[in-house]
Chain A
Amino acid sequence: MTVAVTTDRPRWRVAAEQSFALAVRSVRNTARDPSAWVPPMIFPLVLAAIYGAQFSRAAELPGFPEVDSFLQFILPASILQGVSFNAGDAGTGMATDIQNGFFDRLMSSPTSRLAVFIGRLAGAIVFSAILATVLVLIFTVFGAPVQGGVVAALALVVIAAFLAVAIGGFSLAVAIRTGSSEATQAMFPLTFVIIFVSSAFFPTGLMTGWYQEVAEVNPFTLIVNPARRIALSGFDWGDFGQAMFWIAAVSFVSLGLSYRAYLTRLRRS
């Protein structure tokens, strides 16, 4: 018989199941598409290898933090880079769904509108945590373990996970606004530049002029500095709180932009 399926479960419960199912899909699809996870994994490692060789003496400069190697200094930067790569994928995935009509399929079903949004971000969170864990392990193998110990390493993973929301929010905003995966991908070089004009690869104290001024107020600097202190000298609630505070602040902006774009898209339709 043709009777609509009725559910007597509460709406929030159904929405939570939908968010979960969509998050699983997002993680699984990332895992199945090497072009989605190989670059975020390889690119930071290649850059770290080059920088490690090129700037190994830089760690001896006066004003440079106390580290065993330059590699240890740039671990948080490598994580940041990997996460920004991967978080961009949240947006690209959403844009692809919009382009190929999968988004319409979800929208013509009684899918919770919030679940579609949360599913994408949750996918990015999980994958970024995995990515950070793998990077930490690889750095350890190459002689640059997290000096701060296991708890510090775990804190880095948590920071990486939420950083995915902060950055992923921007890519989602572009994706939802344009519905174009090309436009979303085109955002990556911008993130790349913003990371370079931060303390990610060099302490701001060793920079000069406008570059230093920009780097000092760059949100990535404000996030990377406490993360690095945790990595180098152990877990500290103050540093952790500071990193999470700035991540939350950036997320507030990026999620605000993307959610507004989302509502506009839903209204326009």
Chain B
Amino acid sequence: MSSSSAAHVVANGLVRRFGDLTAVDGIDLDVGEGEVFGFLGPNGAGKSTTVRMLVTLLKPSAGSASVAGCDVVTQPNEVRRRIGVALQDAAIDPLMTGNELLRLQAVMQGLGGKPGQQRAGELLERVGLTEAGDRRVGTYSGGMRRRLDLALALIHKPSVLFLDEPTTGLDPTSRQAVWEEVRSLNDEGTTVFLTTQYLEEADQLAGRIAIIDGGTIVREGDPAALKEAVGDPTLRLEVADPSRQEAARGILAGFGGERPARAGRIAIGLRGGTGSLASVIRALDEAGIAVGHVEVDSPSLDDVFADATGRRLEGDGS
């Protein structure tokens, strides 16, 4: 197997039905080696069902998928050897210690005895749980459980890591810790397939995202490009000398249509995106207008989601 295909996640027309309900309705995916791929969508969109098919826990009703070059239906064990999986709600046995869980997971990956023990120690250190390693998991905080969950997924040095909502329910500090870990794993070459309902998480971590809604992918691409495609970013500007406001407004009109702004400010839809910011400042400077305050507000992933589905992902409490 060539190394270039070793870490791909590929799906073709993946479908999963539960009775009359079609949870995943024909999904195509192509995740390259070394990518962090974000799978973004609201609850019930089909994210977890897709992941469960990719990690061999659910059989597709139609379509096919392969992970790390192995087919999820015909070579499930080959897939399982190559993936690390941390599913929703850190599935952890509260009666066991962190160390015991890691060593058990090592045996499940065919790594028993000394090597397993050594690897467990390394991972406890990596996720900062060395001291808590001999304590029962039942006493761990939510953040500690998530970090242990991540360590469990890494025991066999998988080439593809699946994280299903890795930070749901975590406080901001713990969330940061998980993000850091995901970044450094990716730096080491691990392909990461991440589902999330948090826009910021997708924005922070993913090099490429797919937005899933109602079982189908409604948008896919690099987050910056997706946001750009929604529309021009909003430029908000305040001139240092209020008497020059109208002059500034005239110059700005050449860079994009005016948008509503609060008193004392001018806002436009900046054509050409943040790339044209320098030209705006230069034009104002040439006209002798000093700028007091400037900000560029790019469309958020929420705007992308809204553009694709007509609904907001955050704040509607779904």
Q: List A residues at the B interface (Cβ < 8 Å).
A: 1-7, 9, 14, 17-18, 21-22, 25, 28-29, 32-33, 97, 100-102, 104-111, 269
Contact = CB atoms under 8 A, between A and B. Distances in A.
A144 to B, nearest CB: 34
Contacts of A28: 95-96, 100
A212 B159 CA distance: 65
B196 interface: no
Interface stretch (B53-61, B168-176, B272-280, B290-298): B53-61
A29 B85 contact: no
A2 B3 CA distance: 11
B95 A109 contact: no
Interface string B14-43: 000000000000000000000000000000
Given A2-B189, A3-B157, A108-B55, 19 more contacts: A2-B159, A2-B188, A4-B158, A4-B159, A5-B81, A17-B107, A25-B93, A25-B100, A33-B95, A100-B91, A102-B91, A105-B152, A108-B56, A108-B57, A108-B80, A110-B77, A110-B80, A110-B109, A110-B110
Interface string B207-223: 00000000000000000
Contact of A101 (B91, B100, B108, B157): B91
A106 B93 contact: no
Contact of A107 (B7, B57, B107): B57
Contact of A2 (B92, B103, B157): B157
Interface of B: 7, 55-59, 68, 77, 80-83, 85, 87-89, 91-93, 95-96, 100, 103-105, 107-112, 136, 152, 156-159, 188-190
B87 A105 contact: yes
B108 A104 contact: no
25 contacts: A3-B157, A3-B159, A4-B82, A4-B158, A7-B110, A14-B110, A18-B108, A21-B112, A25-B96, A28-B96, A28-B100, A32-B136, A33-B95, A100-B92, A102-B91, A104-B87, A105-B87, A105-B91, A105-B105, A105-B152, A108-B55, A108-B56, A109-B85, A110-B81, A269-B58
Contact of A17 (B83, B112, B188): B112
A109 B109 contact: yes
B281 to A, nearest CB: 45
